[in-house]
């Protein structure tokens, strides 16, 4: 028996074309590899998609790969993840399940306050597969509480439990605040535990629980994944073989592109120094065909953060061949514009207060940018950035719409 | 200590006390009718519980300040009521009556008389005290003096307590007892002092009217047989020789004079005890008692005499003695209070100079402690 | 005071030795609480600490009387008027003067010959429920239980540390369970090192898991956890050299070697050290490494085999899993939860080491909070440790050195970190430590040396309570604390009875419909 274990694909996570393309490419590679390896089936442990109703363009590409797998006789067994689950039952997963491209494995009923899960049997291998999907905010734990583990443990055939939750005993230290479930919630004695949700690869064992595997994403689901990629994290999936009562799992790495990460600490420097140094340093980065991630942090001793033109630096990197550049300025402050601690009950009030507190620290000349007018303008502009894309609206149109609204808000239509 | 001298003494005494010659009771008063002492005189007391109440009365006194010409005493009379071996609450009378007395010498018709004044501790207890008029004695009165020696004033001082016992016994008969109940006084029913007969008669009269039995129980007895043996010792020997077991009584004598009207018995009130006591029942009461009634009365005493600390002696009298007794420490306390008061009123020296005629003995006692 | 209420009468004595004659039939007991009503309306609270026979009959006479009975001389002989002549004398001392809600230490004797009655519940109305209450039981007078609850302010009690001295079978575990139950949901962070796995409640056994608010307030760790509970597995990276202090004794050379490895390999120091092939170097001798490895194998089950790699025989330690366990536990404690760690399957040293790791984590974090002025917002944290002499005895402290438990006992109060030490042997704990444990919940103890140690270190004067402590039955205790007016005798309820008043059997009916 041979199967692939994938998780956290997050198809549709990125509107950026480059990243979206890379994400699709990673999935394409994964399915291709599965076909090449002639796996008997694929298990996706949640978050195949980034949202329950993703961009159709991304869906289209993903479906093609699923078709490819199906045509190769490789069924795809899925559970919902925390991202692609829909409380109304109308998720892309359901559509794909109805179409036969994937099979949802979580089936069961609640009897006498006990959740009795049923196994799906893979026709080719007779492997028994079951699991529990994710819910938003970890609400799936209530199902684990009432899970009838004894019944599952009694099953004697080769069995796989798929789930999309962090496990307390296996989570890395930096994820301490993240709520996970204890491993004791899982039924014991399964041959393989296909985990998802945790974006760090790990292979774990505890008494009663062998082969608890988290493959991590095949590319990236969040910006911090990109950062970890740039710092050397391996992405990929597992191919698991079972012969003569022995399980072996092999990690298949996927690298769709190179990444580089550069961090700069501006503490104690003035804006000019930062500008000059930063510019010099990033000019030395080999950015060709790479994702470049920049992080700036620290408090300026003089000058303002707005005096540093990061878009210019991004352009520099692009001109040096970078395929994607992101500047993380969280934690980059100046003494003239410090964090303001506000409390309030209403988001609008908080925003208003924040703008009020800080508008004075920005050098402005135009009347409509000053005082109350300026605050109101800033709030309206913020609103336009919060517009949600319409159903089936392409990214291109969505971007254009946002820009248009912004221009209107700034009363620059005539100027433009 | 010379052991040989003691041995000689013992041998001598043994030769003088010949106890196989029992003899018969010896009374000086010819009017006392005696009964022979032999094995046939014992009567077994059958233990039978009856509802008769039995009152035990005892008194005590202590001198607080004394001189040849005065004596201040604290006096106490106590009683308790029992039915067999259970104590019973009194109805209305206080269990303990306490009073102070001062006896003083005074000149009257060129003779020295002793007079006594009484002072109850609680004002409402005055009704229990004898009349002061009854407590006046010529210092050479034959009932108190010895031959031609003036009577010791301290002895006279104790008479008020004795009269109080009779008087309180009368009150008890009138207020606490019913027909068939028994009064047990400490000691004999014989009167010794002038005016004592008056109190005794009042008690007997009250008892007769109510049908109450008056008796006296003596913890000690100086009675002898006509062979010189102690009377109670002789009775005990007969009982021992003839293995008289159980509780028993032995009629010894009948006294029927004005100052002593009683039937005297020797009693053994606990089979396990080796003690025999003199017990007497007022003569008139005894006459109208049947054997059955007599047995009941004695049976009451038997039930009351089974206290494990003093088997054979009525516990009621142990109790009465304990609570009537004025302990030395108590007397010291009162003595101190008296002397302190005397000092306060500036009279201490006046009395002290008289007291010094008598107190050397107690000082010597202190010195040799 | 009506006649029926009179229990005894004052007949003499002195301040700490007042003597009462018991009214026949009242059956005054050791530890009884009695009241003398004073003329000014106040009441003097007395406690019985000794009982003796009193008699009007001299001793020799009593012995003779007994001889009569025993030797068959007088089957019909008995004591007449027995109630009056033979009686019980209770020796008491005044423990409080109560005037409404005001309670003071008594400084005068009661009126001579005053009558004494049993305590009533309204006499104790000054015992009010404090803030942050921790329940200890009901007031006990002798063996009688009054319907007056005894609480201590949990913040005060835990920060000032608690000692629970008792011999086996006197109800220590029951007491701790009752205390913990009443602490659930009250924002106390309590770490319980459960050496006998008796507090959580396994299977059908009643325990803390059955508290209605257990889900959000109690966390359980075990090497063999039931469903829903956490696995007690600590990653070796969580173990630092200083965690061994006072737990496992190392020589100076060994300590230096350990420090060297830590400096060089940081959080992987322990793995490296265990896997090292002992060889002499400039800094460390092979022998030193070998000895350390042997100590780690003996005490923690950690060793290395060529073909199998790093072995953690002790299930509580792991080289891969459990990275977040300690930080999770600390976070739970900081959130005011009760964390029960089942150490029943662990060796002594392993249990203490885990406690040390957590203790260090909490203590030094709270120290930092104090430094930045955030301590007031943090809940009190307390560590409950059984068989406390393992870490607090004079011998341990001398031979193995200072440990975190000892540090907490001496300094924890400043940082809102407390200790609840349970012990059978109080006498081996130094006075300097005992004097910091400001609440003593004293259960029965047969050993006189132990009672002496308990008495001498108590916040109240218990010098007369030696016999009382010896006679404490299961579930009976004396609470001696700087936070009580006097040493309060309590009856701790049986846990199973205590929890009946809580709605523990209500099962929530959840969803009936499940979608995959």
Q: In this structure, is residue B20 part of a structural domain?
A: no
Residues C43, C54 contacting (CB under 8 angstroms): no
Within 10 angstroms of residue C251's Cβ, the number of other Cβ atoms is 11
On whether any CB of chain C is under 8 Å from the CB of A112, the answer is no
Closest CA of chain A from C372, distance in Å: 18
> How does the average pLDDT of chain A come out, rounded?
87
Query: What ranges make up the beta strands (E) of C142-247?
Result: 144-153, 162-165, 189-194, 218-222, 230-231, 234-235
The token pair that represents C316 in the structure block: 């509580």
Contact residues, chain C, for B319 at CB < 8 Å: 80-81
What is d(CA B165, CA B57) in angstroms, rounded to the nearest whole number?
7
Residues B310, B274 contacting (CB under 8 angstroms): no
- Whole-number CA gyration radius for chain B: 23
Closest residue to C321, CB basis, from A113, A170, A175: A170
Contact residues, chain B, for C84 at CB < 8 Å: 87
Indicate yes or no: CB of C68 within 8 angstroms of CB of B315: no
pLDDT level of residue A362 (50, 70, 90 thresholds)? low
User: Which of B87, B300, B309 best tests the C interface by mutation, with the highest count of C CBs <10 A?
Assistant: B309
**What mean pLDDT is predicted for residues A297-302?**
87
Q: In this structure, what DSSP letter does residue A8 have?
A: -
Q: In this structure, is residue B101 part of a structural domain?
A: yes
Q: Which pLDDT score, from 0 to 100, does residue C410 have?
A: 92
Q: Which pLDDT score, from 0 to 100, does residue A398 have?
A: 80
> Digits of tens for pLDDT over chain C (516 positions)?
777 789 999 999 998 899 999 999 899 999 899 999 988 889 999 999 999 999 988 898 888 888 878 887 766 778 888 888 899 999 999 999 999 889 999 998 999 899 999 999 999 999 999 999 999 999 999 989 999 999 999 999 999 999 999 899 999 999 999 999 999 999 999 999 999 999 999 888 999 999 999 999 999 999 999 999 999 999 999 999 999 998 988 999 999 999 999 999 999 999 999 988 888 777 788 899 999 999 999 988 899 988 888 888 888 999 989 999 999 999 999 999 999 999 999 999 999 999 999 999 999 999 999 999 999 999 999 999 999 999 999 988 888 888 999 999 999 999 999 999 999 999 999 999 999 999 999 999 999 999 999 999 999 889 888 988 998 999 999 999 999 989 999 999 999 999 987 866 655 555 566 776
Q: Hey, which residues does B128 pair with through a beta bridge?
A: none
Indicate yes or no: CB of B322 within 8 angstroms of CB of C65: no
Closest CA of chain C from B153, distance in Å: 35
A65-97: pLDDT as tens digits: 999 999 999 999 999 998 888 877 788 999 999
Indicate yes or no: CB of C57 within 8 angstroms of CB of B272: no
| CATH homologous superfamily, domain A2-253 | Metallo-dependent phosphatases (3.60.21.10)
Closest residue to A184, CB basis, from C225, C315, C514: C225
- Whole-number CA gyration radius for chain C: 28
Contact residues, chain C, for A172 at CB < 8 Å: 323-324
Residue C108 neighbours by CB under 8 Å, 6+ apart? none
Q: In this structure, is residue B309 part of a structural domain?
A: yes
- Give the whole-number percent of chain B exceeding pLDDT 90: 66
User: Domain check: are B347 and B304 in the same one?
Assistant: no
Contact residues, chain C, for A169 at CB < 8 Å: 230-231, 233, 321-322, 325
Residues C133, C178 contacting (CB under 8 angstroms): no
Indicate yes or no: CB of C74 within 8 angstroms of CB of B322: no
Scanning every residue of chain A, which has its alpha carbon at the shortest distance from the alpha carbon of C509? A113
User: Domain check: are B158 and B267 in the same one?
Assistant: yes
Q: Which pLDDT score, from 0 to 100, does residue A386 have?
A: 72
Q: In this structure, is residue B6 part of a structural domain?
A: no
What is d(CA C177, CA A202) in angstroms, rounded to the nearest whole number?
39
User: Domain check: are B341 and B205 in the same one?
Assistant: no
User: Domain check: are B91 and B238 in the same one?
Assistant: yes
Contact residues, chain B, for C57 at CB < 8 Å: 309
Indicate yes or no: CB of C331 within 8 angstroms of CB of A170: no
User: Domain check: are B312 and B208 in the same one?
Assistant: yes
Indicate yes or no: CB of C226 within 8 angstroms of CB of A176: no
Q: Which pLDDT score, from 0 to 100, does residue C87 have?
A: 94
What is d(CA C512, CA A16) in angstroms, rounded to the nearest whole number?
43
**SS3 at position C128:** coil
pLDDT level of residue B152 (50, 70, 90 thresholds)? confident
Burial class (CB in 10 A: 0-12, 13-18, 19+), A196: buried
Q: Hey, which residues does A152 pair with through a beta bridge?
A: none
- Give the whole-number percent of chain B exceeding pLDDT 70: 99
The token pair that represents A230 in the structure block: 């740039």
Burial B76-93 (b: 16+ CB within 10 A, else e): bbbbbbbbbbebeebeeb
Indicate yes or no: CB of A110 within 8 angstroms of CB of C321: no
Q: In this structure, is residue B38 part of a structural domain?
A: no
pLDDT level of residue B366 (50, 70, 90 thresholds)? confident
Q: Which pLDDT score, from 0 to 100, does residue C71 have?
A: 85
Q: Report the predicted TM-score, pTM, of the whole model to 2 decimal places.
A: 0.77
Which CATH number is B223's domain given?
3.30.2170
Indicate yes or no: CB of A184 within 8 angstroms of CB of C228: yes
User: Which of A168, A202, A210 best tests the C interface by mutation, with the highest count of C CBs <10 A?
Assistant: A168
Closest CA of chain C from A358, distance in Å: 27
Is the model's pLDDT at A348 over the cut of 90?
no
Q: Which pLDDT score, from 0 to 100, does residue A353 have?
A: 67
Residue A404 neighbours by CB under 8 Å, 6+ apart? none
pLDDT level of residue A347 (50, 70, 90 thresholds)? low
On whether any CB of chain C is under 8 Å from the CB of A371, the answer is no
Within 10 angstroms of residue A261's Cβ, the number of other Cβ atoms is 18
Residue C410: C-alpha distances to residues B251, C366, C413, C431 (Å): 90, 15, 8, 11
Residues C412, C418 contacting (CB under 8 angstroms): yes
**What mean pLDDT is predicted for residues B255-279?**
93
Scanning every residue of chain A, which has its alpha carbon at the shortest distance from the alpha carbon of C325? A169
Query: What ranges make up the beta strands (E) of A123-194?
Result: 128-132, 159-163, 192-194
Q: Which pLDDT score, from 0 to 100, does residue A271 have?
A: 86
Closest CA of chain C from B17, distance in Å: 31
The token pair that represents C343 in the structure block: 């150490």
Catalytic residue among A5, A10, A50, A83: A83
Closest CA of chain A from C236, distance in Å: 12
- Minimum mean pLDDT among A131-145, A329-343, B150-164, B296-310: which range? A329-343
A165-196: pLDDT as tens digits: 999 999 988 888 888 999 999 999 999 999 99
Closest CA of chain C from A185, distance in Å: 5
Q: In this structure, is residue B76 part of a structural domain?
A: yes
Indicate yes or no: CB of C321 within 8 angstroms of CB of A206: yes
Please name the chains neighbouring A, where neighbouring means 3+ C-beta pairs under 8 angstroms. Answer: C
Could you give the ipTM of this predicted complex?
0.84
Contact residues, chain B, for C68 at CB < 8 Å: 272, 308, 311
What is d(CA C480, CA C441) in angstroms, rounded to the nearest whole number?
6
Structural domain boundaries in chain C: 3-124, 133-228+335-501, 237-317
Q: In this structure, is residue B180 part of a structural domain?
A: yes
What is d(CA C274, CA B283) in angstroms, rounded to the nearest whole number?
115
Provide the residue range defining the domain that includes B339.
Answer: 333-367
User: Domain check: are B181 and B219 in the same one?
Assistant: yes
The token pair that represents C153 in the structure block: 């302010």
Question: Of C476, C392, C398, C402, which Cα lies nearest the Cα of C428?
Answer: C392
User: Domain check: are B168 and B193 in the same one?
Assistant: yes
Scanning every residue of chain B, which has its alpha carbon at the shortest distance from the alpha carbon of C72? B272
On whether any CB of chain A is under 8 Å from the CB of C308, the answer is no
Angle between helices A17-37 and A56-71 (to 10 degrees): 10
User: Which of C62, C77, C83, C84 best tests the B interface by mutation, with the highest count of B CBs <10 A?
Assistant: C77
What is the CATH number that goes with domain C133-228+335-501?
3.40.50.300
> How does the average pLDDT of chain B come out, rounded?
91
Indicate yes or no: CB of A173 within 8 angstroms of CB of C327: yes
B190-244: pLDDT as tens digits: 998 888 999 999 999 999 999 999 999 999 999 999 998 999 999 999 999 999 9
First to last CA, chain A: 63
Is the model's pLDDT at A103 over the cut of 90?
yes
- DSSP string of C51-74? EEEEESS-HHHHHHHHHHHHTTS-
Indicate yes or no: CB of C77 within 8 angstroms of CB of B322: no
Number of independent structural domains in chain B: 2
Q: For this structure, is A83 an active site residue?
A: yes
On whether any CB of chain C is under 8 Å from the CB of A162, the answer is no
Closest CA of chain A from C513, distance in Å: 6
Q: What residues of chain C have any CB closer than 8 angstroms to a CB in chain B?
A: 56-57, 61-62, 64-65, 68-69, 73-74, 76-81, 84
Residues C153, C132 contacting (CB under 8 angstroms): yes
What is d(CA A289, CA C497) in angstroms, rounded to the nearest whole number?
72
């Amino acid at each position: 028996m041979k199967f692939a274990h994938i998780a956290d694909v997050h198809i549709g996570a990125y509107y950026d074309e480059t990243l979206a393309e890379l994400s699709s490419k990673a999935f394409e590679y994964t399915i291709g590899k599965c076909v090449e390896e002639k796996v008997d089936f694929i298990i996706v442990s949640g978050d195949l998609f980034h949202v329950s109703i993703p961009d159709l363009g991304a869906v289209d590409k993903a479906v093609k790969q699923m078709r490819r797998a199906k045509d190769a006789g490789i069924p795809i067994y899925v559970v919902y993840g925390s991202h692609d689950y829909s409380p109304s039952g109308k998720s892309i997963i359901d559509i794909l399940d109805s179409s036969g491209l994937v099979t949802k494995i979580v089936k069961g009923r609640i009897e006498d306050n006990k959740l009795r899960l049923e196994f799906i049997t893979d026709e080719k291998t007779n492997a028994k597969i079951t699991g529990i999907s994710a819910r938003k905010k970890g609400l799936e734990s209530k199902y684990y509480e009432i899970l009838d583990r004894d019944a599952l443990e009694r099953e004697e055939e080769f069995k796989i439990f798929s789930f999309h939750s962090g496990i307390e005993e296996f989570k890395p230290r930096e994820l301490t605040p993240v709520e996970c479930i204890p491993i004791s919630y899982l039924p014991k004695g399964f041959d393989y535990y296909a985990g998802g949700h945790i974006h760090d690869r790990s292979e774990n064992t505890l008494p009663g629980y062998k082969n608890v595997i988290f493959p991590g994403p095949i590319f990236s689901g969040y910006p911090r994944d990109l950062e970890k990629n740039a710092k050397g994290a391996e992405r990929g999936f597992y191919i698991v073989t079972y012969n003569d009562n022995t399980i072996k799992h092999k990690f298949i790495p996927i690298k769709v592109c190179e990444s580089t990460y550069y961090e700069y600490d501006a503490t104690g420097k003035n804006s000019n120094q930062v500008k000059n140094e930063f510019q010099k340093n990033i000019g030395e980065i080999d950015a060709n065909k790479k994702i470049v991630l920049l992080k700036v942090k620290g408090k300026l001793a003089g000058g303002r953060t707005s005096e540093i033109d990061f878009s210019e630096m991004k352009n520099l990197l692009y001109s040096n061949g970078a395929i994607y550049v992101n500047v993380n300025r969280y934690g980059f402050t100046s003494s003239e514009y410090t964090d303001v601690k506000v409390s309030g009950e209403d988001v609008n009030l908080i925003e208003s207060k924040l703008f009020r507190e800080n508008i004075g620290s920005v050098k402005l000349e135009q009347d409509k940018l000053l005082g109350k007018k300026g605050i109101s303008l800033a709030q309206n502009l913020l609103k336009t950035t919060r517009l949600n894309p319409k159903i089936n609206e392409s990214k291109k149109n969505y971007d254009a719409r946002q820009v248009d609204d912004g221009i209107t808000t700034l009363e620059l239509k005539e100027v433009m | 200590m010379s052991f040989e001298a003691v041995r000689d003494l013992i041998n001598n005494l043994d030769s003088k006390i010949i106890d196989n010659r029992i003899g018969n009771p010896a009374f000086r008063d010819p009017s006392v009718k005696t009964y022979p002492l032999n094995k046939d005189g014992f009567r077994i007391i059958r233990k039978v519980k009856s509802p008769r109440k039995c009152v035990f009365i005892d008194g005590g006194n202590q001198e607080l300040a004394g001189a040849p010409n005065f004596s201040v005493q604290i006096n106490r009379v106590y009683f308790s009521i029992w039915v067999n071996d259970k104590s019973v609450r009194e109805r209305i009378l206080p269990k303990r009556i306490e009073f102070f007395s001062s006896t003083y010498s005074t000149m009257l018709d060129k003779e020295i008389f002793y007079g006594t004044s009484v002072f109850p501790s609680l004002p409402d207890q005055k009704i229990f005290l004898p009349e002061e008029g009854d407590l006046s004695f010529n210092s050479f009165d034959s009932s108190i003096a010895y031959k031609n020696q003036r009577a010791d004033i301290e002895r006279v001082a104790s008479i008020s307590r004795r009269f109080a016992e009779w008087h309180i016994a009368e009150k008890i008969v009138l207020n606490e007892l019913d027909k068939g109940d028994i009064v047990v006084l400490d000691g004999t029913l014989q009167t010794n002092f002038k005016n004592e007969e008056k109190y005794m008669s009042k008690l007997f009269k009250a008892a007769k009217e109510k049908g109450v039995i008056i008796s006296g129980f003596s913890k000690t007895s100086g009675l002898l047989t006509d062979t010189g043996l102690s009377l109670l010792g002789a009775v005990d020997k007969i009982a021992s020789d003839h293995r008289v077991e159980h509780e028993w009584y032995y009629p010894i004598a009948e006294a029927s004079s004005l100052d002593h009207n009683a039937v005297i018995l020797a009693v053994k009130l606990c089979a396990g005890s080796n003690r025999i006591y003199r017990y007497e029942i007022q003569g008139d009461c005894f006459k109208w008692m049947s054997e059955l009634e007599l047995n009941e009365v004695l049976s009451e005493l038997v039930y009351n005499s089974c206290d494990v600390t003093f088997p054979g002696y009525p516990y009621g009298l142990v109790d009465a003695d304990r609570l009537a007794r004025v302990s030395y420490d108590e007397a010291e306390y009162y003595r101190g209070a008296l002397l302190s008061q005397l000092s306060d009123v500036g009279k201490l020296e006046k009395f002290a100079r008289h007291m010094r005629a008598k107190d050397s003995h107690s000082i010597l006692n202190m010195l040799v402690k | 005071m009506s006649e029926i209420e009179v229990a005894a009468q004052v007949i003499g004595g002195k301040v700490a030795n007042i003597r009462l004659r018991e009214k026949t039939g009242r059956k005054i007991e050791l530890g009884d609480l009695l009241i003398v009503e004073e003329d000014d309306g106040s009441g003097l609270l007395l406690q019985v600490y000794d009982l003796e026979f009193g008699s009007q009959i001299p001793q020799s006479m009593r012995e003779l009387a007994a001889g009569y009975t025993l030797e068959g001389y007088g089957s019909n002989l008995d004591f007449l008027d027995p109630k009056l002549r033979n009686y019980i004398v209770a020796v008491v001392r005044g423990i409080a003067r109560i005037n409404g809600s005001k309670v003071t230490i008594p400084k005068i004797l009661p009126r001579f010959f005053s009558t004494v009655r049993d305590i009533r519940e309204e006499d104790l109305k000054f015992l009010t429920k404090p803030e942050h209450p921790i329940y200890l039981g009901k007031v006990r007078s002798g063996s009688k239980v009054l319907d007056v609850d005894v609480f201590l302010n949990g913040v005060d009690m835990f920060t000032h540390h608690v000692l629970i001295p008792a011999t086996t079978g006197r109800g220590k575990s029951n007491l701790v369970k009752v205390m913990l139950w009443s602490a659930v949901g009250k924002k106390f962070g309590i770490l319980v090192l459960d050496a006998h796995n008796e507090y959580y409640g396994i299977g059908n056994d009643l325990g803390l898991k059955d508290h209605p608010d257990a889900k959000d307030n109690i966390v359980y760790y075990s090497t063999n956890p039931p469903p829903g509970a956490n696995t007690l597995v600590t990653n070796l990276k969580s173990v630092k050299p200083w965690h061994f202090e006072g737990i496992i004794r190392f020589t100076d050379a060994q300590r230096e070697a350990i420090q060297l490895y830590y400096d060089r390999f940081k959080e992987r120091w322990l793995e490296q050290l265990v896997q090292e092939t002992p060889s002499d170097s400039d800094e460390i001798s092979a022998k030193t490494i070998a000895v350390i490895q042997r100590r780690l194998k003996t005490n923690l089950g950690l060793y290395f085999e060529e073909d199998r790699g790093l072995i953690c025989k002790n299930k509580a330690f792991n080289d891969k899993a459990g990275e977040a366990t300690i930080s999770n536990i600390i976070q739970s404690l900081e959130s005011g939860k009760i964390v029960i760690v089942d150490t029943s399957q662990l060796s002594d040293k392993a249990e203490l080491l885990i406690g040390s790791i957590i203790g260090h984590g909490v203590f030094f974090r709270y120290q930092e909070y104090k430094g930045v002025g955030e301590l007031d917002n943090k809940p009190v944290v307390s560590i409950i440790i059984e068989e406390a002499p393992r870490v607090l005895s004079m011998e341990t402290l001398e031979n193995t050195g200072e440990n975190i438990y000892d540090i907490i006992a001496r300094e924890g109060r400043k940082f809102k970190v407390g200790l609840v030490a349970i012990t059978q042997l109080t006498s081996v704990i130094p006075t300097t430590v005992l004097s910091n444990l400001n609440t003593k919940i004293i259960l029965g103890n047969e050993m006189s040396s132990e009672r002496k140690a308990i008495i001498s270190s108590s916040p109240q004067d218990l010098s007369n309570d030696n016999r009382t402590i010896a006679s404490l039955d299961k579930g009976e205790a004396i609470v001696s604390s700087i936070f009580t007016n006097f040493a309060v005798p309590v009856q701790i309820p049986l846990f199973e009875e205590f929890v009946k008043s809580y709605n523990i059997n209500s099962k929530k009916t959840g969803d009936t419909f499940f979608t995959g």
